[in-house]
Amino acid sequence: MANKSPKRRDSEQARQQALKQWANKESREKLLAGARKPLEPPQDAADLIQKAAANGCTVAQIATALEVSPQTLRRWRDERPEIKAAFDAGRAAEHDALVGALFNQAVNKSNVTAGIFLLKARHGYVEGVPLVQNSVSVNFTLPGAMTPEQYVKTLTVEAQLVQPERARQLAGDRKVRKALKNELSREAE
């Protein structure tokens, strides 16, 4: 193993030196004190982010303008409400500008494609389906099972609405008469 390449020897020496420094408490504290702290956003970061987002810049482009990585910018956005608010406000301004420009194209420039897109996106328009639909909807609600007493009550209420001849026919039915007698006797009690 005496025939190690020069690169490998340098790597091994660097490893040994790092272990020695880390083992020594004073060296370790110096190493940790010199460790890079997380980057903080500059004072005007929120304004710059809002303006850039309003102008359609991507996260990568905004990160480049702030001279940080996109990951750092995402971390700022996740950890700091003012940065997230700036992103949201910028994207909302961009959205409004795009909708306004599209609306202007559709209405003032008679751009049919822009008009169709707005109808679909904002008003639920679907090709091949008429805008006005004439349709009737009928719903039936069926009652649940009734007890004989409930049925008799229904008949007595309906009897008030039924023509007198039909009421006489119903009164002629033995089962109905019996149910009526039972109902009337209960009410009398």
Q: Are residues 115 and 156 in the same domain?
A: no
Q: Residue 160 is part of which domain span? A: 148-188
Mean pLDDT within 43-66: 94
Q: Are residues 157 and 109 in the same domain?
A: no
Mean pLDDT within 7-21: 80
Q: How confident is the model at residue 133 (pLDDT cuts 50, 70, 90)?
A: low
Q: Are residues 50 and 100 in the same domain?
A: yes
Q: Are residues 69 and 109 in the same domain?
A: yes
Contact indicator for 44, 6 with CB cutoff of 8 Å: no
List Cβ neighbours of 168 (8 Å cut-off, separation of 6 or more): none
pTM over 0.75: no
Using DSSP, state whether 133 is helix, strand or coil.
coil
118 lies in a domain?
yes
Q: Is pLDDT above 80 for 97? A: yes
